[in-house]
């Protein structure tokens, strides 16, 4: 086998996302023919003991405790940011200035204002970049994108999407600190708007194009929680639930909802799209299935098809097992990394790039603004995205 170019990865953060990304670096070259061989060079985290355990488990060669030292290392080619949202901007800008490729966990930043200099930095440096909006790479979603691009749906009238969870219902759950920083707006930027709706929005921009205006409502059901860093009970600063109506540039109307208070739902990401000729449905709990209705089918047999996207000629599936067998959540990150590295090898970039991440941040900003103003709000920065990747 010809020698592949080594790509030395420096990972920042060792939580849930650090694991998922590390797994992708290990698995992607085993299932895809990539121009690079990722090497797990160093992991960086503030707690050295935990970072050492993480490094030993995943096979990182070294541990760093200061991300600046990691970024300065000449032997690192790619910086992967899997640390909390308030750290993304500073690290990404420094990494771009040091000429590294940069992969960043979603959302790109806490606001579009914070994300914009990140986009400028990667574009000025000309470094490959991407945001880990992994759900675009579910095979059934990739098939839906292909069917839309083929024009099978005709004019689009409606788009609706939800992301439902239930893990913050208990009043006793504290906020802030490690693992629970998603409940602290100073660190996360917002609650479910930036954490969950951002996924729905990225997917919608990818499938259905730009969103022009929104009207939103948010709610914080539990107003006070103990803060892990101070030990004191403090006001809750995040939105627990967020819903909005919007208009897309293509004239379609949409409804979006995300919450962490939908008892019984753990990660129910759903979408439906209705066009003039066809409709489609998808949900993450049954992620291999694409619901598809085509009005042009002969009347006698016309009806909803449930396509089990697991055959070798369907997106990504030819790289896995034999037809009909399933893959999981982690595979979406493997697909994204494979697409990213193949494109980088050709000097190209694939979406979601930082610029695409910025487009999503503009929409989440408008949602939060509208929830405060109780008015329709225009989405700023129209035309900043969206790549087709």
**Contact with ligand SOE (CB under 6 A): which of 222, 267, 307, 342?**
267
Task: Assign 384 to helix, strand or coil.
Answer: coil
Q: Please name the residues in contact with 214: beta carbons below 8 A apart, sequence gap of 6 or more.
A: 244, 245, 246, 363, 366, 367, 370, 376, 377, 379
Q: Least separation, in Å, of the C-beta of 181 and ligand SOE?
A: 11
Q: Which is nearer to ligand SOE, 161 or 165 (CB)?
A: 165
Q: Least separation, in Å, of the C-beta of 135 and ligand SOE?
A: 7
Q: Which is nearer to ligand SOE, 180 or 368 (CB)?
A: 180
Q: Which is nearer to ligand SOE, 195 or 361 (CB)?
A: 195
Q: Least separation, in Å, of the C-beta of 269 and ligand SOE?
A: 8
**Which residues 172-201 are close enough to bind ligand SOE by CB under 6 A?**
195
| Dist. CA 95–CA 93, nearest whole Å | 5
| Dist. CA 59–CA 47, nearest whole Å | 18
Q: Which helix (H) or strand (E) segment is 83 a member of? A: none
Does 386 sit behind a cis peptide bond, omega within 30 degrees of 0 on the bond before it? yes
Q: Which is nearer to ligand SOE, 165 or 281 (CB)?
A: 165
**Which residues 228-257 are close enough to bind ligand SOE by CB under 6 A?**
none
Q: Least separation, in Å, of the C-beta of 267 and ligand SOE?
A: 5
**Which residues 119-178 are close enough to bind ligand SOE by CB under 6 A?**
165
CB closest to ligand SOE, residue no:
195
Q: Least separation, in Å, of the C-beta of 99 and ligand SOE?
A: 28
| Dist. CA 174–CA 177, nearest whole Å | 9
| Dist. CA 275–CA 157, nearest whole Å | 6
Q: Least separation, in Å, of the C-beta of 333 and ligand SOE?
A: 10
Q: Which is nearer to ligand SOE, 153 or 282 (CB)?
A: 282
Q: Which is nearer to ligand SOE, 107 or 381 (CB)?
A: 107
Among 14, 21, 20, which Cα is nearest to 44's?
14
Q: Which is nearer to ligand SOE, 215 or 218 (CB)?
A: 218
CB 68 within 8 A of CB 94: yes
Q: Least separation, in Å, of the C-beta of 89 and ligand SOE?
A: 18
- The footprint of ligand SOE on this chain (CB under 6 A) covers a number of residues equal to 3
Q: Which is nearer to ligand SOE, 220 or 274 (CB)?
A: 220
Q: Least separation, in Å, of the C-beta of 138 and ligand SOE?
A: 11
DSSP output for 293-322: EETTS-GGG-S-EEEE--STTSTTGGGSSS
Tokens of 193: 């708007």
| Dist. CA 63–CA 69, nearest whole Å | 11
Among 68, 43, 73, which Cα is nearest to 55's?
43
Q: Least separation, in Å, of the C-beta of 332 and ligand SOE?
A: 9
Q: Which is nearer to ligand SOE, 195 or 377 (CB)?
A: 195
Residue 202 is a binding residue for ligand SOE (CB under 6 A): no
User: Which whole-number Å values give the CA distances from 307 to 143, 152, 287, 314, in the listed order?
Assistant: 10, 16, 11, 10
| Dist. CA 149–CA 152, nearest whole Å | 8
* β-pair partners for 44: 12, 64
Q: Which residues make up the interface to ligand SOE (CB under 6 A)?
A: 165, 195, 267
């Amino acid at each position: 086998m010809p020698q592949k170019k080594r790509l030395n990865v420096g990972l920042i953060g060792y939580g849930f996302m650090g694991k998922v990304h590390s797994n992708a670096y290990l698995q992607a070259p085993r299932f895809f023919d990539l121009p690079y061989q990722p090497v797990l060079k160093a992991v960086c985290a503030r707690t050295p003991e935990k970072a050492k355990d993480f490094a030993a488990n995943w096979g990182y060669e070294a541990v760093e405790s200061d991300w600046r030292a990691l970024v300065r290392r000449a032997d690192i080619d790619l910086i992967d940011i899997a640390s909390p949202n308030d750290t993304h901007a500073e690290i990404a800008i420094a990494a771009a200035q040091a000429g590294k490729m940069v992969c960043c966990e979603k959302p790109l930043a806490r606001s579009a204002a914070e994300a914009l200099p990140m986009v400028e930095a990667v574009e000025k440096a000309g470094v490959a970049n991407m945001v880990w909006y992994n759900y675009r790479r579910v095979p059934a979603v990739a098939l839906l994108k292909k069917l839309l691009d083929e024009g099978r749906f005709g004019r689009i009238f409606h788009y609706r999407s939800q992301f439902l969870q239930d893990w913050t219902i208990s009043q006793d759950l504290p906020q802030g600190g490690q693992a629970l920083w998603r409940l602290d707006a100073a660190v996360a930027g917002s609650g479910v708007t930036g954490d969950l709706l951002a996924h729905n929005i990225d997917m919608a921009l990818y499938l259905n194009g730009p969103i022009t205006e929104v009207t939103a409502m948010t709610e914080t059901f539990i107003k006070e929680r103990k803060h892990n860093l101070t030990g004191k009970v403090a006001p809750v600063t995040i939105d627990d639930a967020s819903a909005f109506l919007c208009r897309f540039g293509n004239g379609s109307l949409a409804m979006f909802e995300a919450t962490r208070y939908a008892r019984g739902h753990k990660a129910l990401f759903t979408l439906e799209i209705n066009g003039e000729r066809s409709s489609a449905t998808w949900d993450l709990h049954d992620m291999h299935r694409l619901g598809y209705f085509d009005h042009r089918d002969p009347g006698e047999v016309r009806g909803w098809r449930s396509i089990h996207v697991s055959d070798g000629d369907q997106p990504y599936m030819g790289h896995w097992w034999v037809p009909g067998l399933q893959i999981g959540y982690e595979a979406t990150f493997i697909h994204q990394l494979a697409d990213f590295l193949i494109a980088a090898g050709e000097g190209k970039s694939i979406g979601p790039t930082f610029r695409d991440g910025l487009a999503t941040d503009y929409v989440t900003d408008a949602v939060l603004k509208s929830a405060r103003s109780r008015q329709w709000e225009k989405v700023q920065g129209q035309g900043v995205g969206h790549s087709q990747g």
